[in-house]
Homo-oligomer: A and B are copies of this chain.
Amino acid sequence: MANTMRIMGGRWKPAILCRLMHGTMRYNELKKSIEGISERMLVAQLRELENDGIIARVIYPEVPPRVEYHTTDLGKTMHDLINAMAEWGHMYRTVAEQKVLVQEAIL
């Protein structure tokens, strides 16, 4: 479990993984779709996921350059897990919200 966290952990990895689980994306597309990320961080997190064998980087020898990212077979095995985590996170938020409402009702 700590291992799983090491791979998925990082400020922007959830955002990247969610997107690439749905298909291939270019560097710029990722950058534009992930609000607030800096290029340094985008590259860093992509490299880590690549080194961990979760995503693949495909370079097209064109000008201007084109680089596409997509999940590997190993990466695709995370699909259900990611969904389960997203679902739990959603449930958690709902419960937490309820608690706040109940608190407010008491006061």
Contacts and interface: CB of A to CB of B under 8 A. Distances in A.
Interface residues of A, number: 31
A84 B81 contact: yes
Given A1-B14, A1-B85, A74-B92, A99 B8 contact: no
Nearest to A73: B95
Interface of A: 1-5, 7-9, 14-15, 17-18, 53, 74, 77-78, 80-82, 84-86, 88-93, 95-96, 99
A9 B38 CA distance: 22
A3 B93 contact: yes
A4 B92 contact: yes
Contact of A5 (B1, B9, B80, B95): B9
